[in-house]
Amino acid sequence: MIPLAKPNYDEAEVEAASRILSSDWLISGPETEAFETEFASLLGAKHAVAVNSGSSALLVAQAALGISAGDEVVVPNMTFVSTASAAMYLGARPVFCDITTDDYGLDPEKLEACITSKTKAILPVHYAGQSAQMDAILEVSQKHGIPVIEDAAESHLARFGDSFTGTLGVAGIFSFTPSKPMTTGEGGMIVTNDPDLAKRARSIRSFCDAGKFQWESLGFNFRMPEVLGAIGRVQLKKLPESIRRRRSIASRYSQVFSKLDGVSIPYVRRPEDHNFQLYTVRVDPAAHAIDRDGWISELASRQVSSRLYFPTLHQQGVFSRFPKAEESLLENSLAYAKTAFSLPIFATLSDSNQDAVIEAVADVHQKFKR
């Protein structure tokens, strides 16, 4: 079975990890600090704060911004659960906004309708490594004086205009899970140009310990272990080449899939801006005798993994305590969740496996097209 994702590790990561394991310094040390400095510098951000997951980064960034009980944060209705659930640990409520039909990010035209006097942050997601429409989103943010925290969990080195995603809002967060263009296994990063926000995030990450076990306010253990910091530094060096490979695989896929009626290839604002953390297609239910779930099982029978990233969030049980969202305002995300699936893409995907993915998709199309 060709997997959806695979880490790009070799002897360099093994060497980095063993170096730390044979040292005496396992947390809050020089490797993680160097990883932070190198990550910030690559992105052109002033500060980077390493944590133990992208979800922790979402939680710490929102806590550092002062989000608390009774507040609301606006999130896209199609994203990973923690974009929305992190705020709930602070007593805040996620409000679901529809996505656009091209970049699948937060729809700036529907954003204002989600803002109330309780809104304390807007969290756009750069889905699959294609940036959301940050100019229009930032315009709404400025008009209402509400800060933007970018969920750049998937969009390492992706760009909007001249800036890297994650550096356009007051803060941006990244994830380093194994499907991402760089991975530390688990891990995350917060980037910001605001020194006070960075300071508060660092403090929250480590129990808000003012020194010598003086705990003045609420923090917790969100620290990144040194082993992961050391692996992260190696992965960061490989990141530009890993993304180049992903772009070239995506371009091969799109060349073929763009010719299949009823199959929509990913929207690309500018080829050099998309990192292709995911390669997501949509299938028109009228064009084939099978629906999206049928596509997924047909591809599986041809040894190709595929999966919906992500379902809609508004009807998930975890959010059932909040007032029901109006579904007519979420039509793009609802249509997306019925027709989208992502295909294998990762830096070490061999040419022959790329061919196998292409052949499988073309074969299912040929067999079931109406």
Ligand X SMILES: Cc1ncc(COP(=O)(O)O)c(C=O)c1O
What is the set of active-site residues? 180
DSSP string covering 51-62, please?
ES-HHHHHHHHH
| ∠ Cα 128 129 133 (to 5°) | 100
Size of the site for ligand X (CB under 6 A): 14
Position among 83, 85, 130, 306 found at the interface with ligand X (CB under 6 A): 83
Residue 149 to residues 75, 100, 146, 199, 250, Cα–Cα distance (Å): 10, 19, 10, 16, 28
Rounded to whole angstroms, the Cα distance separating 267 from 253 reads 13
Structure tokens at 183: 């991975």
Say if CB 176 and CB 232 are below 8 A apart: yes
Position among 71, 107, 151, 273 found at the interface with ligand X (CB under 6 A): 151
Between 120 and 126, name the residue whose CB sits nearer to ligand X. 126
Shortest reach from residue 8's CB to ligand X, in Å: 17
Site for ligand X in 114-143 (CB under 6 A): 125
- Strand ranges, E, within 148-245: 149-151, 159-160, 163-164, 171-175, 188-192
Shortest reach from residue 159's CB to ligand X, in Å: 17
Q: Does 153 bind ligand X (CB under 6 A)?
A: yes
Q: Does 165 bind ligand X (CB under 6 A)?
A: no
Position among 5, 17, 32, 53 found at the interface with ligand X (CB under 6 A): 53
Q: Does 82 bind ligand X (CB under 6 A)?
A: yes
Q: Does 85 bind ligand X (CB under 6 A)?
A: no
Shortest reach from residue 367's CB to ligand X, in Å: 32
Of the candidates 3, 74, 76, 56, the one whose C-alpha atom is nearest the C-alpha of residue 311 is 76
Position among 32, 55, 333, 354 found at the interface with ligand X (CB under 6 A): 55
Q: Does 235 bind ligand X (CB under 6 A)?
A: no
- Using the structure block, give the residue that is written with the tokens 């800060």: 147
Centroid of chain to Cα 184: 15
Position among 154, 226, 273, 298 found at the interface with ligand X (CB under 6 A): 154
- Angle of helix 30-43 relative to helix 226-257, nearest 10 degrees, comes to 30
Q: Does 54 bind ligand X (CB under 6 A)?
A: yes
Nearest position to ligand X, beta carbon: 54
Say if CB 348 and CB 9 are below 8 A apart: no
Between 125 and 347, name the residue whose CB sits nearer to ligand X. 125
Binding region for ligand X (CB under 6 A):
53-55, 79-80, 82-83, 125, 151, 153-154, 175, 177, 188
